[in-house]
Structure 1
Amino acid sequence: MKVYVLDKGVILSGKSWEIVQKLKQLQNKYVYINDWIADIHDQQATSPLKRIK
């Protein structure tokens, strides 16, 4: 299963049972898909790159 998060939407590709399972998993944490998208974009903005030696 693949999940593509865009600026204003989400694309879920995979088998139907995988998509339903993913949506049920997200239902426990988020009320709306917009909340999930905003949370993902906030995580990317707040996690700067770190240099590993």
Structure 2
Amino acid sequence: MRVTISENRIILVGKAWEIQALLRKYSKQHRLLKNWLDSCTLIEY
């Protein structure tokens, strides 16, 4: 699975179940996508 976060977008590459699990994880920490983007800098996993 690969996650690329830039200033105004998030690119998730992986299998559907991996992406769903990651989105569930981050939805518990951040209510809005904007909050998730604001809390991150340029990160690549």
TM range (shorter): 0.7 to 0.9
Runs of 4+ with >6 A deviation: none
The residue number in structure 2 matching 1:35 is: 35
% identical aligned pairs: 27
Gaps of 5+ in 1: 42-53
Give TM-score, length-normalised by structure 2.
0.85
Give the number of equivalent residue pairs.
41
Greater strand content: 2
Give TM-score, length-normalised by structure 1.
0.73
Gaps of 5+ in 2: none
